[in-house]
Amino acid sequence: MAYIDDANTQKANMGYIRSSMNEPMLEREHEFELATRWKSMGDEKALHELIRSYTRLVIATAAKFKHYGLPMGDLIQEGNLGLMQAANKFEPDRDVRFSTYATWWVRASIQDYILRNWSIVRTGTTAAHKSLFFNLRRLRAKIEGAENENGLTADGRMKIAAALGVRVKDVEDMEGRMNRGDQSLNALISDDGEEEIGSFLADTRPNPEDVVIGMKDSQTRSKWLNDALKKLSDREQHIIRERHMQYETVTLEELGKKLGVSKERVRQLESRALEKLRDNLSANKKDLSNFVGDMA
């Protein structure tokens, strides 16, 4: 997926980058003073000076991720969010430079943005997969003989998998995704044809006839079940509805408190109500598997 900034956006980005690089570097003592004023007194003027002085850190970090094809301005913006998070959490008394502390926050913010926007398909679901996504290119270039004309060799995939603690199949899948990128379902199969990729995908949804039949069957089963429930006592109906017909079922103990009986007594009443319900449905020759198969 490729993003291209227009001329005005590129001009604005360059202006921001130049002004950021012209901000003065902070001496350690002044940095400590600014961080302390913000942390202790909520001095926003001190916060703004601290942030402005380290936007160069954001720009340098964002530049390392520009090959993922996302707008540089967006990467810088996300990095600035990470920088502000770092300023809010920074503890000046720990004798650590703010730049050292903020680097992790800036990098993490930019990487999270890339994972959310590089592809319309979710890219990383675990820490290991995220590490694979961001380190595959580097390790592929570093491992001697890891590639041939068809991509990574089997030995190269094994080395990368071992280095990052993932499966070889994970390396294969990530390699394929990074090489191919996203494809539109409306893309043509060939330059001289009219067939689109989407036309070759099977539609697994039920056809209209099955949908209508299912709706009719569902309505019929609901009527049968309601008729059978009406033959139970009010308390038995309440137990069945609370225990088996709600999105979030009620526990025996909770139901016992509502009814003023022990949870063991609720269990006995529930068991008896289910038996009655089965008998009522059986008397009308209904298929019990459609109703109480999961209630046992």
Is 62 within 8 Å of 79 (Cβ atoms)? Answer: yes
Q: What is the DSSP letter of 97?
A: -
Distance separating alpha carbons of residues 221 and 217, to the nearest angstrom? 6
Q: Which of 75, 76, 102, 97 is nearest to 87 (CA)?
A: 102
pLDDT average, residue stretch 137-155: 70
pLDDT average, residue stretch 9-21: 86
6 by DSSP, 3-state: which?
coil
* Amino acid, res. 245: M
Distance separating alpha carbons of residues 247 and 244, to the nearest angstrom? 9
Give 30's pLDDT tier (boundaries 50, 70, 90): very high
Q: What is the DSSP letter of 250?
A: P
The pLDDT value recorded for residue 55 is: 92
The pLDDT value recorded for residue 17 is: 87
Q: Which residue would you say has higher pLDDT here, 222 or 150?
A: 222
* Segment 31-34 long-range contacts (CB within 8 Å, at least 24 positions apart): 31/97, 31/98, 32/92
The pLDDT value recorded for residue 227 is: 82
Percent pLDDT > 70 in the chain is: 77
28 by DSSP, 3-state: which?
helix
Distance separating alpha carbons of residues 147 and 193, to the nearest angstrom? 34
Distance separating alpha carbons of residues 34 and 45, to the nearest angstrom? 9
> Which of 64-78, 238-252, 264-278 is the least confident region?
238-252
The pLDDT value recorded for residue 144 is: 60
Q: Which of 65, 151, 149 is nearest to 109 (CA)?
A: 65
Distance separating alpha carbons of residues 12 and 66, to the nearest angstrom? 17
Rounded to an integer, what is the distance from CA 117 to the centroid of its chain? 12
The pTM of this model reads 0.51
Q: Which residue would you say has higher pLDDT here, 98 or 207?
A: 98
Tokens 């893309």 sit at which residue? Answer: 187
pLDDT average, residue stretch 130-142: 76
The pLDDT value recorded for residue 49 is: 92
User: What is the rounded average pLDDT for all residues in the chain?
Assistant: 80
164 pLDDT above the threshold of 70 = yes
* Amino acid, res. 146: A
184 by DSSP, 3-state: which?
coil
Q: Which helix (H) or strand (E) holds 152?
A: strand 151-152
Any alpha helices (H) in the chain, and if so which ranges?
Answer: 7-21, 28-41, 44-53, 55-63, 72-89, 98-117, 127-142, 154-164, 168-180, 208-229, 234-244, 252-259, 263-283
Tokens 């139901």 sit at which residue? Answer: 255
How far is the first Cα of the chain from the last one, in angstroms, to the nearest whole number? 51
* Segment 276-281 long-range contacts (CB within 8 Å, at least 24 positions apart): 276/231, 276/232, 276/236, 277/228, 277/229, 277/232, 277/240, 280/227, 280/228, 280/231, 280/232, 281/224, 281/225, 281/228
Crossing angle of the two packed helices 127-142 and 98-117, in degrees rounded to 10: 100
Distance separating alpha carbons of residues 94 and 115, to the nearest angstrom? 32
Tokens 């090489």 sit at which residue? Answer: 179
The pLDDT value recorded for residue 77 is: 92
251 pLDDT above the threshold of 60 = yes
Give 181's pLDDT tier (boundaries 50, 70, 90): low
Rounded to an integer, what is the distance from CA 209 to the centroid of its chain? 36
